[in-house]
Amino acid sequence: MRKNKISITSILKWVFIGVIIFILYLPIIIIFVLSIDSSKTGNTFSGFTFDWYIEIFTNRSLYMSIITSFAVALMATCISAFLGTFAAIGIHALSKKVKSKVFLLNNIPVLNADIVTGISIMIICSFLVTIIPNLFGYRTMLLAHVFFTMPYVILSVLPKLNEMDPNLYDAATDLGLKPMKALWTVVIPAIETGIISGALLAFTLSIDDFVISYFTSGNGVQNFSNWIYVRLGRRNFTPAAYAYSSLLTFVILLVVLAPQFKKSNKKGDLQR
């Protein structure tokens, strides 16, 4: 009797998780349905089409915004991963007391509301516009993206630095390597996984960003999310945006989930 009761509650548990997974994926399914719906407004389903997938490559303003998203995300990721790693090594070397203060500062861009981060960078740049005209655009967007992604790289690298055997570096310098050389040949390989997961996180956050880019771009430069936002409900909106997003989501699902099912559970490498 008791055994039977346990199995019912355990079924209910998994049904609960199943329902939640369904609700979380429903918007993605809806976007996919809209991407193959021939109706331009997306208010009714009027038949299958793949035209919107072709339009991704023919609608100039759309594919320019997609290129902008990728260009900014790639550049921001490289800069954040590179500078963030060195900043993390520096923070790791600080005394405990100073470290906790730097952590507090480092967490501000992570926890701060996107709208506040966006406005902060926008205001700083607006003051600079008098010196550098037409500043708003790629440069301001890149600055903002580096600003909000770098703390994530640092948060991913620091635990790896804590795990690393501190004697590793001392051994390298004792064997005659110069500090920078030792850093490059011994420390960086030891914290590599942290750098890679931090960079991946930076890239995914940057490419999807809407709010921060909305406030910091300008002069006609738009990333994909901004492109959608200003066109919603207007005639120049096209379901090709749904098509592109469905493709991208599919690729992300594949890239992230495939290795998860290949190798068995590897603890510790949590990724957002």
Which helix (H) or strand (E) is 106 found in, with range?
helix 96-111
Contact with another protein (CB under 8 A): which of 60, 127, 133, 176? 127
Shorter beta-carbon distance to another protein: residue 52 or 242: 242
CB of 58 to another protein, least distance (A): 20
CA distance 181 to 173: 9
Q: Does 49 sit near another protein (CB under 8 A)?
A: no
CA distance 257 to 56: 26
Q: Does 132 sit near another protein (CB under 8 A)?
A: no
Contact between 216 and 118 (Cβ < 8 Å): yes
Q: Segment 144-183, which members bind another protein (CB under 8 A)? A: 147, 150, 152, 154-156, 158-159, 166, 169, 179, 183
CA distance 70 to 203: 9
Angle in degrees, 0-180, between the axes of helices 51-58 and 60-92, rounded to the nearest 10: 70
Contact between 211 and 115 (Cβ < 8 Å): yes
Q: Does 136 sit near another protein (CB under 8 A)?
A: no
Contact with another protein (CB under 8 A): which of 21, 54, 67, 171? 21
Q: Does 90 sit near another protein (CB under 8 A)?
A: yes
Contact with another protein (CB under 8 A): which of 68, 141, 216, 224? 224
Site mask, another protein, residues 91-120, x = CB under 8 A?
A: xxxx-----x-xxxxxxxxxxxxxxx--xx
CA distance 232 to 56: 17
CB of 123 to another protein, least distance (A): 5
Q: Segment 184-213, which members bind another protein (CB under 8 A)? A: 187, 201, 204, 208, 210-211
Q: Does 135 sit near another protein (CB under 8 A)?
A: no
Contact between 145 and 74 (Cβ < 8 Å): no
Q: Segment 52-71, which members bind another protein (CB under 8 A)? A: none
